[in-house]
Chains A and B, each alone.
Chain A
Amino acid sequence: MVLEATMICIDNSEWMRNGDYGPSRFQAQADAVNLICGAKTQSNPENTVGVLTMAGKGVRVLVTPTSDLGKILACMHGLEIGGEMNLAAGIQVAQLALKHRQNKKQQQRIIVFAGSPVKHEKKTLEMIGKKLKKNSVTLDIVNFGEDDEGKTEKLEALLAAVNNNDTSHIVHIPAGPNALSDVLLSTPIFTGDGEGGSGFAASAAAAAAGGISGFEFGVDPNLDPELALALRVSMEEERARQEAAAKKAAEESSKQEKGGEEQDATMTECASEGASEADNKKNEFLALAMSMDEPASSHDLQDTEMSDAATEDPELALALQLSVQDSAKDSSSQSDMSKLLADQSFVSSILASLPGVDPNDPSVKEVLASMQSQSEPQQKQDEDKAPKEEDKK
């Protein structure tokens, strides 16, 4: 959260037409610049960022340090590639632009993208570095693109001259499958001198690293830590339950003749365990939302599948049981769901749509009666399963 004014020096020389990074070196650079601007303005609302180009007809300041992100992004459009980069002049103009910043309390920082060969002498660069250090300006160098004739050496010398207590950094990015901006995300340029990084940088890094669902469950722990925690806990519980159920299935496979009843018993046991554990868990909302999306159809599928598979493959039956358990467990602890189930017309419409269930079946009627007293709706589902299975056998 350092209060900072940053000047970004872009290399728009002829060497940026090369396609070894991303769509082109220039595009990769532009993406990186956008990311940096976003990260800086997010980490502290009073931060300002400015942009200048070093090549072309000469060093040109596109936008003076401002906290208006839109302005910065807009000026990145329509930039022309050409000419040769003038690193020394670029850094000096950046220093001048920072000197005239409006808020003198901001720290001064320059970020340089050095993609083309550096034509200055090492001595010149060192003197510039010393001047920056004297005026307490920090410098970040992104070394990419061309690598020739001691460019790396010169840039390292520049960094050594500027560096004061590790506040300045240099990053070397070779051409490769990863985009320039993705590699930058993990560097101290983004993470800000080991402060631990802004939420923006961290989440962007994760999203880039593993696709959109770079995070478990597709939920950013920074944005919603409780939800992420709840999801993780439920995942672990589910795993533990599956292990326990798997053990029981191993026992049961030897007693397969007893079939449905034992499975039901297991299911009831597990479901009741699940119900007690599942109280007050936020993941219930999420799972409920998912299950609520297709309450009727999911029951359909489960019932038909169960009947088919029950007598054949005990493992498959077990898996199906567990998935039914989930929906049973979910609904059991949701007052919303139970109210829904208590709604007579809703229930009978569901039952009518289920194959093999005759609403006039006495066992079903019995169940409905018990439902209306709003006893455990999970029992109703269990009992549903039982009569259905018996019906099918």
Chain B
Amino acid sequence: MACTHDHSCEDHDCSSNWSLYKHIDLAKVTALNEANPGSVKSVFKAWEERLNSSRERLESNEGDPELLVYIPFTSDVKIKSISVVGGADGTSPSKLRVFINREGIDFSDAQSMQPVQEWELVENLQGVLEYQTRYSKFQSVANITLHFPESFGGDTTQIHYIGFKGEATQLKRDVVATIVYEITPNPSDHKTRAETGGGLSHVE
């Protein structure tokens, strides 16, 4: 398969770079304005299969090419670049705006919020193009939301493949669940070493 890298592909396996799909929490992937509920999960696959559209693809509803895809990861990842393979006849998405670590974004939010980064996409039917990210902003991504506002004139937007290149850390970004807030701290609640005897005092 053609590779636009400036090396020959026999040296290493390109597909290993695009292995972030393994870290996607597929069960929790959702999309808004998709024609078939659940079809969004079919666009996350191995690099080799990016052109294999025998399974379903993600398609938006008739007459409305806007799409919103929410992708949570199983651990925090760093994303270097993104690749999107669209459909033929103008059904490829023409723009991409991404939001990071925000849940529950819907279309009105997506249209009014400032994205972390946005790209003008090109028709990428062979899946050889990738769009680089501003890496410093994509250092610890727990979930990412992709907003495709328009297509190349088609009635719907079709997406066959979405790939992420980068690294997975083992960290997990979790909500801080139990916090006790004190308006006025009560010193008796915080025994210091000075009271119990010896050493530097510190609040526990």
Interface residues of A (CB under 8 A from B): 99, 104, 130, 133-136, 164-165
Contacts and interface: CB of A to CB of B under 8 A. Distances in A.
Given A104-B103, A164-B37, A165-B37, A136 B32 contact: yes
Secondary structure at the B interface, as helix, strand, loop or mixed, is loop
B37 A135 contact: no
Interface in B104-142: 104, 106-108
A133 to B, nearest CB: 7
Interface residues of B, number: 11
Contacts of A165: 37
9 contacts: A99-B108, A130-B64, A133-B61, A134-B32, A134-B33, A134-B64, A134-B66, A134-B107, A165-B37
Interface string B41-83: 0000000000000000000010010100000000000000000
Nearest to A164: B37
Given A164-B37, A165-B37, A135 B64 contact: no
Contacts of A130: 64
Given A164-B37, A165-B37, A135 B106 contact: yes
Contacts of B37: 136, 164-165
Most central of A104, A134, A136, A164 by chain B CB within 10 Å: A134
Interface of B: 32-33, 37, 61, 64, 66, 103-104, 106-108
Contacts of B32: 134-136
Nearest to A167: B37
Nearest to B34: A136
Contacts of A136: 32, 37
Nearest to B105: A104
A64 to B, nearest CB: 16
Given A134-B107, A135-B107, 10 more contacts: A99-B108, A104-B103, A130-B64, A133-B61, A134-B32, A134-B64, A134-B66, A135-B32, A135-B106, A164-B37
Given A134-B32, A134-B61, A136-B32, A104 B66 contact: no
Contacts of A134: 32-33, 61, 64, 66, 107
Nearest to A131: B107
A51 B32 CA distance: 25
Contacts of B64: 130, 134
A99 B108 CA distance: 10
A164 B39 CA distance: 14
Contacts of B61: 133-134
Contacts of B33: 133-134
Contacts of B103: 104
Contacts of A133: 33, 61
B177 to A, nearest CB: 15
Contacts of A135: 32, 106-107
A272 B61 CA distance: 73
A126 to B, nearest CB: 12
A168 to B, nearest CB: 13
A300 B123 CA distance: 96
Contacts of A104: 103-104
Nearest to A108: B106
Contacts of B104: 104
B90 to A, nearest CB: 20
Ranked 7 nearest A-B pairs via Cβ:
A104-B104, A134-B33, A135-B106, A104-B103, A136-B32, A135-B32, A134-B107
A104 to B, nearest CB: 4
A140 B3 CA distance: 51
Contacts of A164: 37
A285 B18 CA distance: 69
A135 B32 CA distance: 6
B131 to A, nearest CB: 25
